[in-house]
Amino acid sequence: MQPRPGSATPRPGPATPPRAAGPAQPQPGPSPSRRRAAAAGAATGAAATTRLPAAAAAPTPEPEEPTVGSETGRPLPRFAALGSNQVNMRVGPDLRFRIDWTYQRKDLPVQIIREYQSWRRIRDPEGTEGWVQRPLLTSRRTFLVQGAERVLRRDPEDAAAPVARLRPGVIGNLRRCEAGSGWCEVRVDGYDGWVKRSEIWGVTPDEAID
């Protein structure tokens, strides 16, 4: 398989205790959590020109994303997390479809945007979409730090004491997000505190998590 550019970058370190006073310095971008699959056929054991049987055809695209899952009746889109360090994303909801990406980071938050039998169409933090098997997802709520370094604070206030600094690419667990609040209570590598929901990916602007 061809590694995604920058795949040699080590995984971001854990949350770090606050440093001495001074402006936060941006950290290097997160290490890739996925890699591009090999050319079509190599990943699935079939020639790239092989036509899939009708039974393996993807469902007819819908003009708009559904708001309720066709299999579970649950709201869409909704967040979930990868349940394994080896999750294949395919171009269609069947094992005979080629693998587009292989995710190698358990707990990475993703959005479920469509359901088809035992398959879920997901969208990752970079906006890439594809199909994964439902057992490879978990309902555990996690978040991903994106952009710049973020500060984990002791209380949900800008002036609250810093607990740790979170580098881009760090994944943590969402514990509580109150409706109407711009803050979420989280846990990252043994550190507990609050982070602004606008600074993380894995929760919607108005979602409540208990």
Same domain, 106 and 134: yes
What integer pLDDT is reported at residue 59 of this predicted model?
A: 55
Q: What are phi and psi of 54, to 5 degrees?
A: -55, -35
Please report whether residue 8 resides in a domain.
no
3-state SS class at 131: strand
What integer pLDDT is reported at residue 15 of this predicted model?
A: 58
Same domain, 133 and 80: yes
3-state SS class at 78: strand
Same domain, 120 and 151: no
Q: What are phi and psi of 183, to 5 degrees?
A: -120, 150
Structure tokens at 189: 């590598």
Q: Which of 122, 140, 158 is the last residue of a domain?
A: 140
Give me the average pLDDT of each 10-residue run along the chain (210 residues).
36 47 37 60 32 46 78 95 97 97 97 97 97 97 96 98 97 96 97 97 94
* Count of domains forming the chain: 2
Q: Please choose, from the candidates 156, 154, 171, the residue with its C-alpha nearest in 3D space to the C-alpha of residue 31.
A: 171
Q: Which residues of 144-157 are buried (b: 16+ CB within 10 A; e: fewer)?
A: bbbeebbbbbeebe
What integer pLDDT is reported at residue 56 of this predicted model?
A: 52
What integer pLDDT is reported at residue 36 of this predicted model?
A: 78
- From CA 200, how far away is CA 197, in angstroms rounded? 6
What integer pLDDT is reported at residue 191 of this predicted model?
A: 97
Please report whether residue 13 resides in a domain.
no
Same domain, 149 and 175: yes
What integer pLDDT is reported at residue 43 of this predicted model?
A: 33
Same domain, 133 and 95: yes
What integer pLDDT is reported at residue 35 of this predicted model?
A: 81
Please report whether residue 103 resides in a domain.
yes
Structure tokens at 16: 């770090």
What integer pLDDT is reported at residue 87 of this predicted model?
A: 98
Please report whether residue 5 resides in a domain.
no
- What is the domain-level CATH number for residue 188? 2.30.30.40
Number of C-beta neighbours around residue 60 at 10 A: 5
Number of C-beta neighbours around residue 66 at 10 A: 13
Please report whether residue 34 resides in a domain.
no
Please report whether residue 209 resides in a domain.
no
Please report whether residue 136 resides in a domain.
yes
- From CA 95, how far away is CA 172, in angstroms rounded? 31
pTM of the model: 0.74
* Containing structural domain, residue 161: 143-201
Same domain, 127 and 194: no
Please report whether residue 48 resides in a domain.
no
